[in-house]
Each structure stands twice: as structure tokens, then as C-alpha cells.
Amino acid sequence: MRLHDALIGCLLAILGIAVLISVSQYPAIPGQNVGPSAFPGTLAVLLLVCSGLLIWRGLRDGRSQAIIAFGAWIASPRHVLNVVAVIGGLLFYIFCADIIGFIPIGIIILSVLFFCLGVRPLLILPVALVATLVIHTIFYKLLRVPLPWGIMQGMIW
């Protein structure tokens, strides 16, 4: 799928404006010129400049170009299934992670994605289990990101 450059530029401009509005409400640090809004605000301004250039280039070069052009993959049921599986997995995690927990959901999502992508059946469950535990360890222990335990809450040691 290909989006027109002007459309992408508009979407990025909206994102840049949203970031600027958000960081404008960050509190200032007394006695310092640089506060918590400096870095994200600078990135948002750079994003606005780049999105302006993208909009200009899109309008200059692509008047005859379609706003949205789908690739040949859209006619392939297997490729469409893969896209739906990824989006479905993300939505499943968003809505069910607090109830079910990161580890069971990670194993389920990875197993479904591996199956859709044609991984050998004997490898699906072991790789999904190991990958989920490695990801959980990295986020929970090293990065100290609290991941939801869900139904495993009573099983934690």
C-alpha cells in the first residue's frame, strides 16, 4: 500500500501539533532553561518542518498520483490474513492483557502469528514460549516495566 506524500505529511503534521500541545503543558523546572518539554518539543518542530516539506513535494510532484494505492498483496488471501492476524493480535493484547496477563497472551499471539506465517508446527509452541519469557524478562527485570500478570497474579513468586 502506498499513501500519497501529501497525505502522509498531513498525518505527521497532526502528530507534531499534538506533541507540541501536549508538551506545552509540562511544568518548568525552576532555575533551569531546559525543561522536560525541550527534547520532545524540538522533535515535534522538526517533524512539522519535515511534514511541510513532504506536503509540498507531494503536491508538486504527484497531482496525478492516487491518494491511496494498494499493492498486489491485497489480492492474496494469505497476505491479507497475515495483516489481519497482526492487527488482531495487537487489539487482543490491548483489550485482554490486564485480564489474562502478558505471558499467556504473548504465547497465544506469537503462536497464532507463527502459524499464519508458516513456521513449522513443532517449533511454534517452544519458540513462542521462550520468546515470551525472554521478552518478559527484559522488560520486567532489566527495564523495570511493570507488565500485567492477569490470571497469573497468584502464581508469582
Residues 46, 63 share a domain: yes
Is there a contact between 44 and 20 (Cβ–Cβ < 8 Å)?
yes
What Rg value do the Cα atoms of the chain yield, rounded?
Answer: 22
The pLDDT score that the predictor gives to residue 62 is 67
Provide the number of structural domains found in the chain. 2
Domain carrying residue 39:
2-69
* CB neighbourhood size of 4 (10 A): 19
Residue that finishes a domain, picked among 69, 96, 122: 69
Q: Round to whole Å and give the CA distance between 18 and 13.
A: 8
Q: Provide the grid cell at 38.
A: 525541550
Residues 81, 60 share a domain: no
Q: Round to whole Å and give the CA distance between 88 and 96.
A: 12
Backbone angles phi, psi at 69, to 5 degrees: -125, 120
Is pLDDT above 60 for 136?
yes
Looking at every residue in the chain, the average pLDDT score rounds to 91
Residues 102, 52 share a domain: no
Residues 54, 106 share a domain: no
Residue that finishes a domain, picked among 69, 84, 103: 69
Residues 141, 78 share a domain: yes
Secondary element (H or E) of residue 68: strand 68-69
Q: Above pLDDT 90, what percent of the chain?
A: 65
Q: Round to whole Å and give the CA distance between 138 and 119.
A: 24
Residues 138, 112 share a domain: yes
Amino acid making up residue 24:
S
| Model confidence, pTM | 0.65
Residues 81, 55 share a domain: no
Residue that finishes a domain, picked among 19, 38, 69: 69
Residues 78, 150 share a domain: yes
Residue-wise pLDDT for 41-92, tens only, equals: 999 999 999 999 999 998 888 666 777 778 888 889 999 999 999 999 999 9
CB-neighbour burial class of residue 147 (10 A; exposed 0-12, middle 13-18, buried 19+): middle
The pLDDT score that the predictor gives to residue 1 is 67
